[in-house]
Amino acid sequence: MQLKGLIRFFTILLIIYSVYELSFTWVVRGHEKKMEAKAKQFVNLNYASADQATKDQAYKDRLRRLLDSTKDENIHFGVTGPISYQKAKEEELNLGLDLQGGINVTLEVELQGLIRSMANNSKDANFLKALQNAEARKANSSADYVSLFVEEYKKVAGADAPLAPLFAAASAGKIGPKDSDDKVIAAIRTEANDAFERTLHVLTTRIDQFGVAQPNINPNKDKGIITVELSGVNDESDVERVRKLLQSSANLQFWLTYKFEEYAAALDQAGKALALEQSGGTKAITSATDTTGKKAGLDSTTKKNDSNAVAKANADTAGGMNPLAKLIKSTRHGLGFSVNDTAIVREYLNSDAVRRTFVQAGLADAQFAFGIPARGENGKLENTVPLYVLKTNNTDKAPMEGDVIVDARQGFDQMSNNPNVNMETNAIGNTKWERLTKISYDEKRPIAIVLDNVVLSAPTANNGPITGGRTEITGDFSLQEAQDLANLLKAGKFAAPAKIVQSQVVGPTLGANAIHGGFLAFGISFLVIFLLMLIYYNTAGWVANIALILNLLFTIGVLTGLGATLTAPGIAGLVLTIGMAVDTNVIIYERIKEELTKGKGYIPAVNEGYKRSLPPVLDAHVTTLLTAIILFSFGLGPVRGFATTQIIGILLSLFCGILVSRWVTNWFTDKKRHLEYFTPISRRILKHPTYKFIQYRKIAYGISVVVLILGIASIFNGFHQGVEFKGGRTFIVRFNEPMTGKVEGVRQDLEKAFGDSSSLVIKTIGASNQLDITTSYQIDNTSQAADSIVAAKLLQGLGKYIPATTSYQQFMQNNIVGKTTVLPTISDDLKSGAKWATFWSLVIIALYIFIRFRDWRYSLGTIFSLLHDVLVTLAVFSFLKNVVPFPLELDQHFIAAVLTVIGFSMNDTVIVFDRIREYSRQMVGASKETVINKAINDTLSRTIMTSLTVFLTILILFLVGGEVTKGFAFAMLIGVITGTYSSIFVAAPILVDLGGKRALGSDEPKAPEKTVTKAKTQKV
């Protein structure tokens, strides 16, 4: 075997890499278990007599504080030296929302308000009608909102109506009254892109306030959506807070700040008062955040005497028990504290002791605000968060707000050529800004530019009051920082809030069940396939099992290294990987067995087996890989996790199944030990089969016609569409007693409460005391109160089945274990993506087969076979939707199953096709029927074994894998069965009746006489 040393090197390297990556997960889990034990001990000592709810909250708060305080503690060692808990946490294997509970939201950036602002809130009837029509079309169109608006405006105002007059007045010279439509559209798109980045920045800043260790934020600028996943956010109050904050408009304000000497004494006294309050025991942290901002200025340099004063004040108190003095230090930018202490500093500053002390000191209007860590000389963010004290005059209304900003753009200082920010205000803003900058100049008082309570910049007017509405903000900006600040300053001018179009809340119980079911299926599947390989392939099965173990190790290790998130569908992908990983070895071993049966020696048989098996193995993996890539491209959320797992598993399966297996096999050969490929069982199964499959093709064609009719009929019979495809709200409700036999009564009561029965779907999910309830009630209501309105109606309708004393808050906290909201806009996108994913899968695979076999008949046979598989699956999901005791829904998981079935079905089909092509070149003069029958029979054992391994793993996933993947597993079971059938009875027989007398192994008919003559010459 060539390159044996290189294969050994990469195998060892991948083992070390995978173990190293997984070691972060093991170490982090060990550290967190220690902190959990300490938190429990703390609660048992300090809250022994408290009720359970108080204990649970105290435990959560204490654990959060312990983990936050140990972020810098070294818990691991790597190639670069000691590794802190925070760094190790970033490197561990991430669990998805569906496995650990939390909230997932998809937000759409609203551009209607942006276009209105750019048009100076024009009252033009055509303009307003175009906006209205574009908004209506958006729900059923894949085009972006700007294109829809332009199209609608041209419809209502006329094709020749110019856009420039609408936008010229408020564009600050960017758009002229006579500019072309293309220039106007380009300007709108530029602002739309800026709005997306601005919204993303605002959302990121707000998400930092939730104290989530590893928030997952995935922006998609092409679709104008941002997906946010926050693990551990389960409480109804926290969920509502998240929803409210993520959807609220950006709040840009300009505040004067207190100078250090004005609050230094109060801060010192506040720290001492806080120490006194804590003398009886430290109060648990109740909130955590990591706020950001950027310090800059008209002149943002901190005065030297201020820094000296800070240092002196800290020195005076550091020797005592002042907790603030221990955390808040003087820096080159003024007061600040470590990023890791953000949560506890916020807790201290918001405490009653601190507020009371500041009020007594005559600073009742003081409000603390955090900024963004400054960048060091190396360009990296420092570990210190700046602290500011805002002078609010006891009002929420700032002296100047973002609505007066006309424009803001990044520029360069004329003297130093350093990046700066140029800001323009309107007439009202000019007056306010002049007043603010005068105070700043006279009192040397910084002006804090605050976005959502985060200080972006704190400049000081050093050259006198600023008049005329044009301001140049200078500081130690990088080019990117200046561009970001300019963009964020426009948050008040161009409103583009984000609207939640899809949300999912998974309770911790539901997540725990998903983990248990997924890993149980994974473990059982691994054990079953491990034993099957030994039972059927004797000692050669050990090589297959070694390849399987390495494949799984490498897959999980690479997933961890890439920072991927493991979801319930991702675990399903791992389970499927178990079945498909051994398929490579099955294909190779079956060919080796054929060669051994023909009487070849051991080494020639092994060499021929690997050589002859390589093309079908590559073809099978390429087709499956193509469908996985398409699924990743069109899927969202957890389904992309499944596709990611499958893609990595397929690539590593090639490496382990072909190269590593061959290396291990050669190692045994070099040791003069031959592997056994037969067992008494495998010798008796399918021994020299001679079934005449082609003779029954007319019957198969008849069955296919029936399948075609049923597939078409399923469209009229209808399906149960999941909430992802039809839009609506789904609640998973847990009751105190089994609901068996009560579903119809629940349906009738909810119909009365919602006033509509057409969209109500109720089914048992998981345990007998859990119902999955879906409704489209209030689905067009996009207000923040919509979810609460629907949940209140749900509580009203379920009044007979839950205790009468249950409050709304108790209902949401104790009975709702999961909920999902999908607005029509995103559901239409998902349906469109599903259709295109299926279409392109069929086309691309057919094209690949054509390129691979250079014959259109193989491609056409492939299309018929795959359509047959898809139609059977659709028919089953349509006609059995009310028969089986589990939900059959068309959703993203179903599409994932269909695409996977398409790829898997090609696995068997390609093997048969490859053997047909091989035999058509060897069996010169034989009829098509004879060639195809022999090819199917000789690959029958291989076809059955590859299907059996996948079928067993999917069956186990279906039985014990949990509710999240049950529909996916059922679709896969149907697909594996029909895929095996179609490979034998549909794809191959079609070759007989296509192409007339053209030979199966070439593009043109061959002359038998010439071939026979050549063969005779070779025998001489």
Q: What is the pLDDT of residue 724?
A: 66
The percent of residues in the chain predicted with pLDDT above 90, rounded, is: 6
Q: Where does residue 820 fall: left (phi above 0), alpha (psi -120 to 50 degrees), or beta otherwise? A: beta
User: Is the CB of residue 980 less than 8 Å from the CB of residue 908?
Assistant: yes
Q: What is the pLDDT of residue 1008?
A: 44
Q: What is the pLDDT of residue 72?
A: 79
**Average confidence (pLDDT) over 776-780:** 76
Give the whole-angstrom CA distance, residue 540 versus residue 95: 36
pLDDT of 311 over the 80 cut: no
pLDDT of 301 over the 50 cut: no
Q: What is the pLDDT of residue 713?
A: 92
Give the whole-angstrom CA distance, residue 149 versus residue 196: 17
CA distances from 739 to 815, 819, 885, 960 (A): 14, 19, 14, 22
**Average confidence (pLDDT) over 205-221:** 67
Kindly list the domain boundaries of the chain, sorted by start residue. Answer: 3-92, 108-214, 256-278+327-494, 507-677+689-717+828-994, 728-822
pLDDT of 1019 over the 70 cut: no
Q: What is the pLDDT of residue 38?
A: 92
Give the whole-angstrom CA distance, residue 730 versus residue 744: 18
Nearest in space to 360 (alpha carbons), one of 453, 268, 256: 268
Confidence band (pLDDT; 50, 70, 90) for 1018? Answer: very low
770-775/728-734 β-pairing: antiparallel
pLDDT of 13 over the 90 cut: yes
CA distances from 10 to 40, 581, 647, 654, 667 (A): 45, 19, 19, 14, 16
pLDDT of 923 over the 80 cut: yes
Q: What is the pLDDT of residue 489?
A: 76
Check the CA dihedral 481-486-489-495 and report its sign.
negative
Q: What is the pLDDT of residue 990?
A: 82
CA 769 from chain centre, in angstroms, equals 30
**Average confidence (pLDDT) over 54-74:** 82
**Residue 602 or residue 994, greater confidence:** 602
Amino acid, single-letter form, for residue 633: S
In angstroms, how far is the first alpha carbon of the chain from the final one? 35
Q: What is the pLDDT of residue 284?
A: 33
What is the dotted CATH code of the domain comprising 728-822? 3.30.70
Least confident window among 433-437, 692-696, 736-740, 885-889: 885-889
Q: What is the pLDDT of residues 123-159, one digit of tens each?
A: 888 998 998 888 877 766 667 788 889 999 999 888 8
Query: Over 338-407, what HEC string results?
Result: EHHHHHHHHHHHCCHHHHHHHHHCCCCCEEEEEECCCECCCCCECCEEEEEEEECCCCCCCCEEHHHEEE
How many CB atoms are closer than 10 A to CB 843?
Answer: 12
pLDDT of 321 over the 70 cut: no
Q: What is the pLDDT of residues 791-812, one digit of tens each?
A: 888 888 888 888 888 888 888 8
| Domains 507-677+689-717+828-994 and 728-822 are alike in CATH topology | no
Give the whole-angstrom CA distance, residue 319 versus residue 832: 66
Q: What is the pLDDT of residue 825?
A: 59
pLDDT of 883 over the 90 cut: no
Q: Where does residue 334 fall: left (phi above 0), alpha (psi -120 to 50 degrees), or beta otherwise? A: left
The percent of residues in the chain predicted with pLDDT above 70, rounded, is: 85
Give the whole-angstrom CA distance, residue 327 versus residue 351: 15
Structure tokens that stand for 232 in this block: 């551990």
Return the biggest CA–CA distance within the chain. 115
Q: What is the pLDDT of residue 19?
A: 93
Nearest in space to 948 (alpha carbons), one of 903, 988, 917, 979: 979
Q: What is the pLDDT of residues 527-540, one digit of tens each?
A: 999 999 899 888 89
**Average confidence (pLDDT) over 560-572:** 79
3-class DSSP assignment, residue 318: helix
Give the whole-angstrom CA distance, residue 918 versus residue 263: 88
**Residue 283 or residue 424, greater confidence:** 424
Confidence band (pLDDT; 50, 70, 90) for 735? Answer: confident
Q: Which fold has domain 507-677+689-717+828-994?
A: Multidrug efflux transporter AcrB transmembrane fold (1.20.1640)
pLDDT of 885 over the 50 cut: yes
How many CB atoms are closer than 10 A to CB 240?
Answer: 15
Side-chain-facing half-sphere of 225: CA atoms under 13 Å: 18
Q: What percentage of the chain's residues is helix, strand, coil (to nearest 5)?
A: 60, 15, 25
CA distances from 773 to 260, 270, 725 (A): 57, 52, 15
Confidence band (pLDDT; 50, 70, 90) for 390? Answer: very high
Q: What is the pLDDT of residues 605-643, one digit of tens each?
A: 888 888 888 888 888 788 888 888 888 887 665 677 778
Nearest in space to 705 (alpha carbons), one of 902, 899, 861, 872: 872
Q: What is the pLDDT of residues 159-203, one digit of tens each?
A: 888 888 888 887 777 888 888 989 989 988 888 888 888 788 777
Strands (E), 784-904: 816-822, 889-890
Give the whole-angstrom CA distance, residue 1010 versus residue 776: 71
pLDDT of 591 over the 70 cut: yes
Structure tokens that stand for 855 in this block: 């014959």
Dihedral angle, C-alpha 1004, 1008, 1011, 1012, nearest 10 ° = 170
Amino acid, single-letter form, for residue 829: D
Q: What is the pLDDT of residue 554?
A: 92
User: Is the CB of residue 270 less than 8 Å from the CB of residue 357?
Assistant: yes
3-class DSSP assignment, residue 245: helix
889-890/720-721 β-pairing: parallel
Helix (H) or strand (E) holding 701: helix 697-717
